[in-house]
Structure 1
Amino acid sequence: MNQLTAYTDTDPLNQLIGAYLEAGRPGGLKENLYLGNETTLGLTTNNLTLLSSQQYPYTALGTIGLVKLREEPQPSVVTQILNRHTVNPTNRSAGQLILLDTQGQTEIEQALRRDARHTGGSNVLHWLFHSSDPDVQWILGHGSETRAAITDVQTYKMIRPQAKEAWGHYQALHAKDANTREAVRKWLYGANLADAGWGRFNRNDVKSGNRLSSHYTNLGAGLNTDQAKTAARGEYAASKLLITAYGPDYQMKIGKSAGGSRPNGIDQIWVKRDMRSGDVLEYLIIEAKGSVNATLGHPSTGQQMSPKWLFWCLVRMAAGHGSYIDAQTSPELPKKILSALINNGGIPVRGVVFHSLYGSQNESKVVEMTDLGLYNFVAAYENATAGIQRFHNAPTQAFIAFQ
């Protein structure tokens, strides 16, 4: 198994790997999401009244639906999108604020504060564990008693008086559909952990919802410059689109920190997680831009979202560098991602850029999504460990620097 020897800038292996990685951002596949065309109120006290009332998330500040998602525009259709992290389940299907289409500091602060208060946990339900069937629910709550009753029948061909209730519920499974019968039996006999895999998904989904709440709170702090408001707008749009347009299996791992860390690092890290097994299927590296004029930076480590830039961000996160990761966040996640990147067969690592076109004359309510595809550092690692010298800065067709 390939592995790094250290998580430092000066480590010779890291320097060689970085030298073999492209410094230009991958070209990627662009797609525009057109976010609602409802008229919003002017920036008056009406906005603040809505944001501070129980009418949230029905707020006029920002758009409330997707007009276009992977198909031609349909101006007459506004899709209601599910928010599985809303604290109040009665509002979970309500149109959700997606885009902070204002430059007003107070309005943005109020919206983020309100969203943080209404976000947390998870409303994802399991078809078995949340079944309304009384026999299923009884068995799931009395597993040991049900197994004891089955053992009595199999071993002694009899049912003890105290086991009659359990045996009755178990026998009632014969009248259920085959999938339910099989799922309950697996749960009873140790293969329950196929469904305990869902339990792992759910535990991580609760953590994701709580991280999102903190993310919104932290985005709302220190919005006293245009640059800070622009950054907050982009990160907010990215996180809301990931839990709505992308689907229920995406979970936040790292968002905006309270201490303002990551000024030179990755905006957000998400995972796509299998809802049945609980396994991570993909890591997502997210870069967010909040206005039409915002562009990807080009620091000394390469253009933002380039393979070289990502490598050095992850190395510095793994090292606990304060400009890349806050002290409360475990460095284990960047270490896992680095391992996946330098090993064949590792969990795929994908880059995505969300770019709000706020400020555009014609497309102010559009978010441009660019899927940069998968990163792979295996060749760079193998070249570095083999000590191969080659002209690694030559341009390639695989990676196109963003102009």
Structure 2
Amino acid sequence: MNQLTSYTNINDPLNQRILNNLEAGRPGGLKVDLYLGDQPTLDLTTNNLTLLSSQQYPYTALGTIGIRKLLDPPESSLVSQIVNRHAVLPSNSSADQLVLLDMQGQTEISQALRRDARHTQGSAHSHLLFDSTNQHVQWIRMHREQMLRAFEDIRQQGIVRRQAKEAWGHYDAVSRLDATTKEAVNTWLRGEDHSLGWDRFKRNDVKSGNRLSTHYTNLGGDLNTPQSITSARGEYAASKLLITVCGTDYQMKMGKSANGMRPNGIDQIWVKRDMRTGNVIEYLIVEAKGSVNATLGHPTNGQQMSPKWLFWCLINMANKNASYIGPETKTDLPVKILNALINPGGIPVRGIVFHSLHGSVNESKVVQMNDIGLYQFASAFENASKGGGLFTNAPTQQYIAFK
């Protein structure tokens, strides 16, 4: 397994050589437009916040989302709204998302984020078998081996032994339940036991919902300038789209920090987690832009979302640099991502940019998603380990790809 000689020192010689092997320029990617403008919205003003101040949720409608892939023929399709699995109240589980995406007013956005934080927590994800409240299903879950031995008795001897009668009593009760639950129990008994994997997935999904609530709270607490409002809009859209459009298995690992902390670096980090095993199967590096005029920055350590910039950010996170990581995020997260990046066949690390086109004349309610694709650092690590560097002698290496 490839390992860095230092995960915390950006000036470590190996890390410097890796930086010289990584591209610093503008990333490409596949762009997809999400059209959010055909749905009804609230006519809210600073003096008309009745609906926002009430318990009515979600305040504005999104409904279906129109999608156009820019590389495909200009044919639009509709994607149905995915249930919000982090809604506190079951009645809000199908609530439309992306509240006040088209708003600029500080008060409206602050109110929306405050209410959304209050209505977001935990996870409503449930498993037909593993989360069942039926006493007979619960007994079989807790006594799987005993149930399997009862099956084996029948197969070998054709009778139910005395010590197996309890198991058969529970199984008989389950057999009288609905066909879907019965089939779920039988499939689980005949196959692998993924209950521990599901428990791991659910435990992390609860953490993700709680992080989202904190994320919304922190976004609403930093709206003192037009720039901070623009930033909040972009980060809000990114997090909402990830739990709706992008699927039901992405979980937030890092969101907005409180009180303006962590001003630099990665906006959000998410993981895609296997619901059966509970294992992380993809890391997602997210950059959010909140207006049509916002662009990827290009500091001296590489343009935002470039491979060089990502490596720089992760090392500074592991080093507990307060400009890149908040106290709520553990430093083992960047270390895990770094190991995934420098090892062939490691967990995929994907980059994605969510760009709200707010402020444009015709597409103010459009969010553009740019899937940058997978980052690959294994070859950079191998070249650096041999003492080489692709861009060591480049005259303008930081800007060579976009000047």
Structure 1 residue 340, shift from structure 2 partner: 0.5
Q: Distance in 2 between matches of 1:291 and 1:185?
A: 53
Q: Quick one: structure 1 residues 353 and 402, their matched pair in 2 at CA, closer, same or farther if it must change by over 3 Å?
A: farther
Q: Distance in 2 between matches of 1:139 and 1:27?
A: 51
Structure 1 residue 168, shift from structure 2 partner: 1.2
SS in 2 for 1:69: strand
Q: Quick one: structure 1 residues 401 and 128, their matched pair in 2 at CA, closer, same or farther if it must change by over 3 Å?
A: farther
Indicate the RMSD between aligned Cα atoms, in angstroms: 2.9
1:200 is matched with: 200
Q: Quick one: structure 1 residues 367 and 167, their matched pair in 2 at CA, closer, same or farther if it must change by over 3 Å?
A: same
Structure 1 residue 145, shift from structure 2 partner: 7.2
Residues 1-400 of structure 1 aligned to structure 2 (within 5 Å): 1-6=1-6, 7-44=8-45, 48-57=49-58, 59-60=59-60, 63-69=61-67, 72-73=75-76, 79-98=80-99, 100-131=101-132, 135-140=136-141, 159-160=161-162, 164-171=165-172, 180-184=185-189, 191-192=192-193, 194-391=194-391
Q: Distance in 2 between matches of 1:225 and 1:353?
A: 23
Structure 1 residue 275, shift from structure 2 partner: 1.1
**Stretches of 4+ aligned residues off by more than 4 angstroms:** 131-134, 141-155, 157-161, 171-179, 389-395, 399-403
State the TM-score, normalizing by the size of structure 2: 0.87
SS in 2 for 1:363: coil
Q: Distance in 1 between matches of 2:299 and 2:308?
A: 11
Q: Distance in 2 between matches of 1:334 and 1:346?
A: 14
Output one character per residue of 1:262-309: Cα deviation in whole Å (capped at 9) or x when no partner: 311000000111111111111000000000011111111010000000
Structure 2 unaligned regions, length at least 5: 70-74
CA contact (8 A) 2:231 2:288 kept: yes
Paired residues, number: 389
Output one character per residue of 1:177-221: Cα deviation in whole Å (capped at 9) or x when no partner: 6653130465xxxx53x2221111111111100000000000011
CA contact (8 A) 2:230 2:290 kept: yes
CA contact (8 A) 1:36 1:65 kept: no
Structure 1 unaligned regions, length at least 5: none
Output one character per residue of 1:94-152: Cα deviation in whole Å (capped at 9) or x when no partner: 22235521111111110000000000111111132245766424423566875797799
SS in 1 for 2:214: helix
CA contact (8 A) 1:291 1:358 kept: yes
Q: Distance in 1 between matches of 2:152 and 2:65?
A: 57
Q: Quick one: structure 1 residues 179 and 112, their matched pair in 2 at CA, closer, same or farther if it must change by over 3 Å?
A: closer
Q: Quick one: structure 1 residues 402 and 289, their matched pair in 2 at CA, closer, same or farther if it must change by over 3 Å?
A: farther
Q: Quick one: structure 1 residues 391 and 67, their matched pair in 2 at CA, closer, same or farther if it must change by over 3 Å?
A: closer
Which stretch of the first structure deviates more once superposed, 176-185 or 207-216?
176-185
Q: Percent identity?
A: 65
SS in 2 for 1:358: coil
